[in-house]
Each structure stands twice: as structure tokens, then as C-alpha cells.
Structure 1
Amino acid sequence: MSATLSFTAPTEHGPQDITLAYARVGEGEPLLLLHGIGHHRQAWDPVVDILATEREVVAVDLPGFGQSSALPHGLPTMNAVLGAFCAALGLDRPHVAGNSLGGLLALELGRENLVRSVTALSPAGFWTRAERRYAFGVLMGMRRTARSLPLPLVERLSRTAVGRTALTSTIYARPARRSPEAVVAETLALAHAQGFSETLRAGRSVLFTDDVPGIPVTVAWGDRDRLLLPRQGIRAKHAMPRARLVRLPGCGHVPMNDDPALVARVLLDGSGVQSARALRTSFSTVAL
């Protein structure tokens, strides 16, 4: 079920009025899904039906992205807003999974002990300065392209495997698998993302170096990630020694579309009731 929720979030800058769009489906323990910069909640569509067989899944458009309203002060206030969003929905310390920017936010929610478990897919924040500059340069190039292409051209490109590759190969290892409708929608989402520039500026000072103690943490990385390089997963493991590091073979930066079954299994194991035991038995830690 898709809906919007308007609420007031208490932040360090004072109360903020915000409206977030989200989809809620399934039954079981709650699992909050957070997308990456310039994307929208539909990035999770390839795995939602699988997850919903065992979890109550809530996929949300982050502030300033998708159909959610923009947020004054941007990135520094996002987690306060997400905490207030969960409270307004009656989600008591949900499990959380995030991709890229969403992975960073998920880890910060875990560090603040606001969630039961964290699964982070190619999370931002484990880069060197050069790697960050490279990633931001690629993202800004993608944004310029998305904003410059007329909609009829995007629609025409999306109808062919070659066109979908041209539009999305930076984030997908298997771009031809993405549906034409999804490619058009996410190109428009990137072009119209109100929070893109402000979030990117705030990200220049982001470096995640803290551990996330007390809850199960899974970090998974596609071995064909061209945006945040897989070696950053090793740094994540060093920062969080108790975290489980999982390799996603054949997957790119946004792995949900590249291998839905594998990604869904990682998310279900990472958010399981017996998640610590499940992670010990389901995957082996691998060097990336």
C-alpha cells in the first residue's frame, strides 16, 4: 500500500514539518528500506514481494527524493526525521536495510540504537578522498544527463537493452534486466530530486569510522560495483569488526535488480529474529 505521512520531526534545528511517501506491505517483524541518493523507494521493487512473505516491509522515499518533500538542512537531520517517521507509523525499533546513502543512514540509525539490526548494501562513507571525488563526479554527471534528456528520448532509449545500458549501467551490473518503465521513472527521479545537491554537499565531510555495537550488522557489496568500489567493504569491516561482510557476485552498486533472490536472502537473514546465528551459518566472510 502506497501512502504519504505528514508529521513534525524534532531535530537539532528545531521542529521540522515533513511529508514522506512510502509503501507498506507484508506481515512479520518490520523492515525499513532506505534507497540511495537520487533514487526512490521503487529501487526496492525487485525484492519487496520476496521480503513481504516474512517481514512487514516499509519502503520510504527519503526527504528530498521521490515523492517526499524536501527537508531544510538536508543530510544532518535525516535520521531524526526517519526516527520520527517510524514513531508516527508505530514501528518500534524496526530492522533497517539501506543502499548507498541509505546504507550510511541505516548504519547511523544502528549506532544510535534506533533499530534492531542493520543491513547495508554498498554503504556510503567508507571512501578515501579520491574515491569520494570520483563517486561524486560520476553522480553529478548522471544528474546532468538525466536533466538534459527530453522525456521522449528517455522513453525511446528505455525500450531497448542498449538504451537501458546507456542510462543505467553505472549502477546496475545487468542493466538490460531493468524494465523500461522503471528506467524512465528512476531517470525522472534523479532529474527532479530536490535534495540531490544539498545532500551531495553535506556528504563531502562524511566518513564513517565508528563501530555499531549491540546489534547485528551485515555489510554486503556487489563485486561489480562501479560507483563505490568493493574494496571499501574491507574498510567497513575494519571499522565494524563484528559485522558480517558479504560478497554479492555479479551485482553492481544497486544490487536489488541484479540478483533479487540473493539480495532478498541477505536482507532476510540480516533482519532475522535469530539474525546473529543466521549470519554465522548462511554466509562466510569473504575478501572483496
Structure 2
Amino acid sequence: MAAEVSFSVDSPGGPRTLSVAYERAGEGEPLLLLHGIGHHRQAWDPVFGILAAEYDVIAVDLPGFGESPALPEGLPYDIATVVSVLGAQCEALEIERPHVAGNSLGGLLALELGREKLVRSVTALSPAGFWTPGERRYAFNTLLAMRHGARLLPLPLIERLSRTVAGRAALTSSIYAHPGRRSPEAVVAETLALRDAEGFEQTLAAGRDVLFSDDVPGLAVTVAWGTRDRILLRRQGVRAKHAVPDARLVRLPGCGHVPMNDDPALVSRVVLDTCRRVPSA
């Protein structure tokens, strides 16, 4: 069940109050989970319970995605603002320096949280920001096509497609290497999340000039890439390793852009191994 927390963040026009939806379970050190653009916190469902067996896990709907409202007027969807929002959310939830795992946009945000020393460790799964201009255009065009397709399909057709393996592949093969493993209910929900995401266009526009080139020193960092990622090609992982030389670069065999559903056991192990590299607080 989703909960919601409200808090205030600074803006050029003064403080703004916003709300963020999240799901929380487990005990231990806090572990923040961040999804990608157009997705929602349920992207982490296949690994949520495994991680919650050892950690206090908080899966977040980023502002303008899932059940989280759009950012208030005057707040842009750039990386600095969203990182500030996540920091304020952690403070409101009385979470101090969580571990963080993120996928795609969430991976980029996780690395930025690490660079700002707001977290204990970073696991970035196919993080954005390590592209060439051509690779970025390809990724953005793919995402825009997915969004356009989701907005064209009426709900009865989405539900009908979700009931077959072929239909689930038609809806989600861009992000999953094994779309048939996703449940029909999950496919419907994430297609609607992509269709209805209020922050999609502004987030995409804010990412056009993003290039992550800074190191993240002094933290345990893992960058993991699916070998069958069709949105952010796996060679970008090598660039991430050059940018963050102390990071552990992990290959995820047979996984697509959102690997949590393709191989929950492997992804859980990668996240847990990263968290365990940090001495207990």
C-alpha cells in the first residue's frame, strides 16, 4: 500500500510544498529505490521483498510519475531539483544517508545522490547520462515512441494485450528482455503509468544536456548493465567505469533495460552485495 509524505523545498519563488508517494517495508539500514522515466515504484516489486528481508526499503514514485503529483509551479524537473526533493523526502521520513539503488533515470539520480554524499552506497542499473549525442537521441526517440504508443491505446486493448505473452511483448519488450515473465496486471499498470506520467516531457527535456562525468569518491558504487538493454546500450557501462573508476562494473546476462523483472535473484544479489560493502552504521 502506498503512503504519502509532504514537505517543503526551496525554489526561486520561495518555499514550495509537494508530496511524494512511496512504499516502505522491512527493518535495518534504509535503502531507497528509484525507478526510471515513465515508470513507477512497482518496477521494483520483483525484488522488493527480497531486499526488505535485510533492509528498511523505501520505493519511491518520483515527482510527476506513478502516484506522486507533479512538481509545483516554479520547480524544474532537472537533476539538481529532483535530488533536492529526494533529500527533503528522506529528511521528512527521518532517514539519514540511505543506501540507494536506481534504474535508468533513477540510476543517474542515485549517482548524483552519491556525488552529493547524501547516501551510503550506490547501485546504478543502466544509469542514464553516459551516452553519446547519437545514443541519447536514439534513447529519447525510443522513449517518446513508447509514450506515444501508450497514449494511443485504449484501456480495453491494453488489458486484452496483457493477457498473452505476445501482447505483453508488444507492450513492454523495449524495457524487458523477458516480457512474458511480467504479470498481466503489472503490464497494464505500467503502461498506464507511462501514459499518464505528468512529468514525462519536462523530465526528458531536462535530460537533453545531461552528461555524468564526475567521480563518486569515497562510496561503494556498483554500475550494472543488462546485456540485452535496448534503450541504453551496454557499452555505456564502460564509460561509466571511466567516469567512476572505483565503481564495480557488473554484467547482467540476459537482462534488458529494467532488469529487476528479468532476473530478480541476480539484481537483488548485486544490490545487497553493494550495501554490504559498507560497514554497518
TM-score, normalization by structure 2: 0.96
Kindly report structure 1 stretches of 4+ aligned residues shifted beyond 3 Å: 11-14
Partner of 1:55: 55
Partner of 1:154: 158
Partner of 1:286: none
Partner of 2:270: 266
How far residue 14 of structure 1 moved from its aligned partner, in angstroms, is 3.7
How far residue 2 of structure 1 moved from its aligned partner, in angstroms, is 2.3
Letter in 2 for 1:45: D
Trace 1:33-112 onto structure 2 (pairs within 5 A).
33-71=33-71, 72-75=75-78, 76-112=80-116
- C-alpha contact 2:181 2:262 (8 A) present in aligned 1: yes
For residues 208 and 202 of structure 1, the distance between their equivalents in structure 2, rounded to whole angstroms, comes to 14
How far residue 12 of structure 1 moved from its aligned partner, in angstroms, is 5.9
Letter in 1 for 2:34: L
- C-alpha contact 1:11 1:81 (8 A) present in aligned 2: no
For residues 266 and 90 of structure 1, the distance between their equivalents in structure 2, rounded to whole angstroms, comes to 26
Deviations along 1:146-193, one digit per CA (max 9) or x if unpaired, are 000000000000000000000000000000000000000000000000
Stretches of structure 2 lacking an aligned partner (at least 5 in a row): none
Which sits farther off after the overlay, 65-74 or 141-150?
A: 65-74
Stretches of structure 1 lacking an aligned partner (at least 5 in a row): 277-288
Query: Does residue 219 in structure 1 map to residue 237 in structure 2?
Result: no
How far residue 206 of structure 1 moved from its aligned partner, in angstroms, is 0.2
For residues 116 and 15 of structure 1, the distance between their equivalents in structure 2, rounded to whole angstroms, comes to 28
Closer, same or farther: CA 17–251 of 1 in aligned 2, 3 Å: same
The alignment of Structure 1 onto Structure 2 pairs a total of residues equal to 275
For residues 275 and 123 of structure 1, the distance between their equivalents in structure 2, rounded to whole angstroms, comes to 21
How far residue 6 of structure 1 moved from its aligned partner, in angstroms, is 1.0
For residues 164 and 188 of structure 1, the distance between their equivalents in structure 2, rounded to whole angstroms, comes to 14
For residues 126 and 107 of structure 1, the distance between their equivalents in structure 2, rounded to whole angstroms, comes to 12
**Percent of aligned pairs with the same amino acid:** 72
Query: Does residue 24 in structure 1 map to residue 28 in structure 2?
Result: no
Pairing partner for 1:138 from 115, 130, 142:
142
For residues 139 and 39 of structure 2, the distance between their equivalents in structure 1, rounded to whole angstroms, comes to 15
Query: Does residue 170 in structure 1 map to residue 167 in structure 2?
Result: no
TM-score, normalization by structure 1: 0.94
For residues 207 and 264 of structure 1, the distance between their equivalents in structure 2, rounded to whole angstroms, comes to 27
How far residue 201 of structure 1 moved from its aligned partner, in angstroms, is 0.3
